[in-house]
Chain A
Amino acid sequence: MLLLALAPRAWLRLPQLKRLVCPRTLGGDSLRMRCQLLSRQGPAETGKQGQPQGPGLRTRLLITALFGAGLGGAWLAARAKKEQWRQQRRTEALRQAAVGQGDFSLLDHRGQARCKADFRGQWVLMYFGFTHCPDICPDELEKLVQVVQQLEAEPGLPLVQPIFITVDPERDSVEAMARYVQDFHPRLLGLTGSAEQIAQASHNYRVYYSAGPKDEDQDYIVDHSIAIYLLNPDGLFTDYYGRARSAEQIADSVRHHMATFRSVLP
């Protein structure tokens, strides 16, 4: 149909084609319209043949275009509406998660009670470990601190709160935590608590931990999953980083999350 619209003059020379191209037996508006276009052969030329004028080619095209645009517009509007509804549902789910999930009720290394809501409004990088850890926890905490320092050095970025939570509540008292965190960063917060509180916090962050067998001097190593968790200012779990990620990679990722963050809480 478009081809015909673009080259009506060509058909002027072939009026007899009309009978071949438009068999009456085939129905359909498009065919009928095409036949009418063929028989029109341009508004200027039909005057001689004495055929009824009716709406010209341009008008028909305009009507079709408007109709098409209308349909397209309706489809786009429906799609946008559906997307909006989906976003609202997601925001609602995130709001519930922000309040209900990943909560903890622990003591910091100064003996003050802390829960997740205390960190609302702040980005948090969290690591679970224990003070008697031979090498992994100090390495991961060093890495975490490097990330915090890299981001601190950039003006315009909010400060990230580093948190270290113990998976060894039996030995990691408030004093032990205080001694441990001072070696890393002045803002590193150590959190500890009772065995139940630690179990609850670890469960909420899907952290596995298992104390190994004790040796002669009652020392033991706690096997545990290794990850640095990122929480956004709404308190929502946003990302996690394993041993393979470098400090630069983590800092890049945190920067990206900061740039794209939009709060879901009122």
Chain B
Amino acid sequence: MAAPSMKERQACWGARDEYWKCLDENTEDVSKCKKLRSSFESSCPQQWIKYFDKRRDYLKFKEKFEAGEFQPSKTSAES
């Protein structure tokens, strides 16, 4: 399987960005963005979809972390 060309990469990234924008607007509600999700899945290799999903998870986690939503547990704070 040949690697995606620059055009294919850009199509994939565009679809991903649309999908992510939809998620941002709908507070991560996947059911509201089904169409964009299937468009995303058809534009990108499967490995890339898995990779971008993980990346999204990580970016959201990082946002929460930087906003201070995670507090150290009592035990770790005392140790």
Contacts and interface: CB of A to CB of B under 8 A. Distances in A.
A264 interface: no
Interface stretch (A147-155, A176-184, A197-205): A176-184
A171 B3 contact: yes
Contact of B51 (A131, A134, A171, A217): A134
Interface residues of B, number: 16
B52 A134 contact: yes
A224 B26 CA distance: 34
A85 interface: no
A179 B46 contact: no
A132 interface: yes
Contact of A179 (B2, B51, B52): B2
Contacts of A53: none
A164 B11 CA distance: 23
A176 B51 contact: no
Interface in B26-53: 45-48, 50-52
A179 B13 contact: no
A219 B44 CA distance: 12
A244 to B, nearest CB: 15
A183 B46 contact: no
Contact of A215 (B4, B12, B13, B46): B46
B18 to A, nearest CB: 16
A176 B9 contact: no
Interface string A119-138: 00000000000011011001
B47 A219 contact: yes
Given A138-B9, A215-B46, A216-B46, A221 B3 contact: no
Interface of B: 1-6, 9, 12-13, 45-48, 50-52
7 contacts: A132-B47, A134-B47, A176-B2, A179-B2, A215-B50, A218-B1, A219-B45
Interface of A: 131-132, 134-135, 138, 171-172, 176, 179-180, 183, 215-221
Given A172-B3, A180-B3, A217-B45, 6 more contacts: A134-B12, A135-B13, A138-B9, A171-B3, A216-B46, A221-B47
